[in-house]
Each structure stands twice: as C-alpha cells, then as structure tokens.
A and B are shown apart, each in its own frame.
Chain A
Amino acid sequence: MTDPAIAAHGLRKSYGDKVVLDGIDLAAGEGTVFSLLGPNGAGKTTAVKILSTLISPDPASGEIRVGGHDLATTPQAVRAAIGVTGQFSAVDGLITGEENMLLMADLHHLPKREGRRVAAELLERFDLTEAAKKPASTYSGGMKRRLDIAMTLVGSPRIIFLDEPTTGLDPRSRHTMWQIIRELVSDGVTVFLTTQYLEEADELADRIAVLSDGRIAAEGTAEELKRLIPGGHVRLRFTDPAAYHSAASALPEATRNDEALALQIPSDGSQRELRSLLDRLDTAGIEADELTVHTPDLDDVFFALTGSTNVPAQPNQPNQPKETAR
C-alpha cells in the first residue's frame, strides 16, 4: 500500500491548560476527500493549521506526514505539496482579483507568460473574469471564496486543505463549491475538508472523522457512521397533556419527553411499521397533533457522538433522546 496523503499520529495541541487536540489520529488516502466534522470549537481549524504548517503541534505529538514528507523536519517540502484555503478568505483585498492570481503565479515561480495563462484560465473557470480588474475587497462572499480557491490552485497542489469552505455562503454558492471540490477530486487531488455541516460531509467525503472536544469521537464512511446508531423513529407530538399521557401508556416502548409532550417510537419508517403504529393509536382512540417520520442521517450520529463529553461510540445502543431532528 502506498503512503496515505495525510497521516497524523497522536496529534496534540494545547494552549496553556486548554487542550485543543488531545492526541488524534488521521489518515487520508490519496485522491480521496477526508472530512473532519465537528461543532464550533471542536479543534477543526487547529488541526488544519497544524497539518498545513501554519502552527506547530505540541512536542508530545507522534509522527505527522503530509504528502509523504515529515512535517517536523521538512516543512518546506510539505508546503510545496499543499494548498490551503482557510476559513477566513486569504485574498489580498487591496489589489484586484487578477493581481492576486499573478501574485500567486510569481510566488510559485511560474514564467511570466505561463503565469498569465494560468491566472486567466483559473479566473475563467471560477467565473471571475468579469470581476478580475476589480479590487478583491469589493467581491461578495461567494466570489471571495472562489478567488481564494483559484489562488490555491495556481501551484497545482496535490493536497488541498479546505477549512469550512462553505460557511457563510448562500445555497447556490455552496453547491458551486461542492461542484468545485468534486472536480478537484476527479483530477486526483486529495482534499482535507473541515465542515460543521453533516450534509456536506455526507455529500462529499469518502471518509469522515467526527471531532468533538479535541478527540475523534468516530471515524468511517458516512454509511458506517450511520450504522453506529440504531434505525430511525416516529415522533408523535401532543398539545393535550391527557392525550399525551394516555398515548404514553398505550406505547410503553416509546421514549418520553414530558416537557415537549412528545413521544419517540423506534421505527425503520417502513409502510408496514407505520400502519401497525397507526392501528395501535386508533385502537387506543388517540390522535396525535403531529406525526413525523425520522430516518437516520448523520445528524443523529453527530448529536449522539458530540452531545455529551464521553458518549461511547458503540453500535446498537439505544438512541439518545433529543429535542430536534434538524
């Protein structure tokens, strides 16, 4: 087996007493999308900053290799292999989009003509040709993000770090960004993606690691992660406490939420199971005010794994009761 594009062992980082990354292992195969998924403050950005040589890991960390190069001993070789698009746009707002691109071409030591060609091509590809002569500070959020990625691509990096590339983008820009990421991967580029959107990881990632409080709570494909928690459920909501209580006694297997007057009944959402549930409600003469069918998705994994500090990531455990599905 060839070296994975990114391999980190026991990655640690703390600021004073505050432990941000508590010894995490990461491995991203070449030409795949690896997604680090986690809520705000989980340590995603810190992980990207370390892997992209921006900050140094704690000395207690294990070996970290990016693009086959040791991060600690040959950071310049790592830098030559990677491209980074951070959470906050890394464009020079004072100069135009085109000047930003030519700046990158110069820093990658491309010959003048080739630099201009690459810049023009990428501006075209990211739909920025029209805005090329305007200062980057006048760009919209989506345009800045596209310029940011275009600048990252000038050096044709084999490994690209994207730190929350769609945070703050409107739905259309987000889909454009997803398309861009898919194209990158089809060219054989390895993408290390951080996101707080489960949908995004589900949509793009080959492997997902769920980061919570500086630890990897779970890792696997989207399918594997979904399998970590049991099937979906049906949620019944009542406005009348009396109806709620009689329903609760008619359905003893349900998980109760007395405050919300809601019941959760485990169910795979199939027509047969739904009918049998409805029959039981009819027999008991109960009418719920709201019935929703909930199939398991990464949200469930996410909440189950990141909900409390030490949720055991064991399959086939009863689902954690929760307030909202989405």
Chain B
Amino acid sequence: MSTLALAVRDSSTMLRRNLLHARRYPSLTLNLLLTPVMLLLLFVYIFGDVMSTGIGGTDRSDYIAYIVPGILMMTIGSTVIGTAVSVATDMNEGIIARFRTMAIHRGSVLIGHVLGSVLQCVMSVLLVGAVALAIGFRSTHATALDWIAAFGLLTLFALALTWIAVGMGLASPNAEAAANSAQPLILLPLISSAFIPADTMPGWFQPIAEYQPFTPAIETLRGLLLGTETGHNGWLALAWCLGLTALGYLWSAATFNSDPK
C-alpha cells in the first residue's frame, strides 16, 4: 500500500473512531454550544436595543445582522475547546500507546482528530446558524458564490483553530489543563469586532482588536453575508488561517512525534 493510500485509509479509520466518540458522548460538544447561543440571545434580546443604537441602527433587528457573523466565528472557537480537551484525554489513554506501536500511518491519529473537529465545527455552525435564522437573521446581500466563500472561510477558520487546539491538547498533561489553555479561543471574540465595531473601542486597544485573528475573519464574513466593506480584511483573514494552520500543524507534529512521557 502506498504511503498516501495508507494515510487516507488509517486517517478515515481514526476519523470514524472520533465521530463514534462524539456521537456517543455528545454532551461535551453541546455544552460548548451553549456559550455562543446564550451570548447571541443575551445581546439580541436583553442588550439589543441599546447595542443597535450604538452601531447606528434603528432597532434590534439591525443588531442581529451585526452580531451573527461574530457569533458564528465564536462558535468555532468554542467547539475547538472540546477538541483540545478530547485530544488531551485521548493522549492519556493507553490506546494511543497501542497506535504508536502499530504499523499504521504515523499522523493518522492527529488527522482523525482534525477532520473530526472540523466536521464538528461545521455542524455547530449550522446549529447556531439555525438559531440565528430562527430569531430573524437574514442575509440581505449574499449571492450563491458569496455563500460558498462564506462556507469556505468558516471551514478554513475551523481548520486553523483546530490545529492550534490539537497542539494545546497535546501539550497539556490532562483535560483540565487543556480546557484552561484553550480558554483564549472563546475569550478572543469578546475583544474583537464581534459585538461592537473595533473603532468604537479605546484608541490604544484598537490595533489589538483589529489585527487579532477573529476580527478579520468576522469582517470578511460580514462582507460576504451582508455586503459591508471588508477592505484588506479578506487577505488578513486568509493569512491568519494559513499561518495558524501551519503553526498548529508544526507544533502538533513535533509534540506528537517526540517520545511520550
């Protein structure tokens, strides 16, 4: 069997294993969805009118349009916390030692986790997207091509954060530590343009808010779904996604290939 065929076959076996875990124990994934959904409802129904005035809208429906792209990106950040936790848990299981002593494709364990995590992110985004639709979110502008690009952006962002989360999971001694080290992935959206425009933040803070990975991704998604101005954010988002993917991949591969503790 060629290396590529071996990689595809073993990775798909590992993916099936991870999906089986996710299907049998869905509570972790579902719990992680609570944060973005609660924040969505809180900001729309409780703070909505004030927030709407803040962004120059008339009522809370304007704010729904503003907040949903951010909430979708946040959903990805939240879902991959679960990835970091499940990777850390998995690495403490004896079965990983077994995999390492088998003549299987070396990277298949991680690839299985990554593919599983990206699929879970897509599912989560669809679920949260459905909630957004239910409370009145409508894309006013997007063409079919925009939808495809939006889907591609969400998937790419999921891939990037997943590799980072896998690295965090591998570097953590246990599940609790993994959950802690992955916290920034759900906190970063709070200091992005997800809830309020970056230019309404204090001047010294604006560069941080504007150039962290979430803001360009959120702005690009907004542009695709609502036709707002994206400027250089599309390229910035792409660069962040590719950069984080490469970084997370190299980090994960180095950690996984070093001798286990």
Contact = CB atoms under 8 A, between A and B. Distances in A.
Contact of B94 (A82, A90, A99): A90
B260 A103 contact: no
- For chain A, give the interface size range: 20 to 34
A300 B104 CA distance: 44
B93 A92 contact: yes
Contacts of A55: 259-260
Interface in B63-107: 93-95, 97-104
Contacts of B21: 94-95
A235 to B, nearest CB: 43
B1 A103 contact: no
B259 A90 contact: no
Q: Is the interface on chain B under 10, 10 to 19, 20 to 34, or 35 or more residues?
A: 20 to 34
Given A91-B94, A91-B95, A54 B100 contact: yes
Interface string A84-123: 1010111111110001000100111100000000000000
Contact of B95 (A76, A90, A108): A90
B1 A109 contact: yes
A92 B95 contact: yes
A291 interface: no
Nearest to B259: A55
B104 A107 contact: yes
Contact of B24 (A54, A91, A95, A107): A95
A150 to B, nearest CB: 12
Contacts of A54: 97, 100-101, 259-260
B101 A94 contact: no
Contact of B97 (A90, A99, A106, A107): A90
A192 to B, nearest CB: 13
Nearest to A100: B95
Interface of B: 1, 9-10, 13, 16-17, 20-21, 24-25, 93-95, 97-104, 259-260
Interface of A: 52-56, 76-77, 79-80, 82, 84, 86, 88-95, 99, 103, 106-109, 135, 151-152, 155
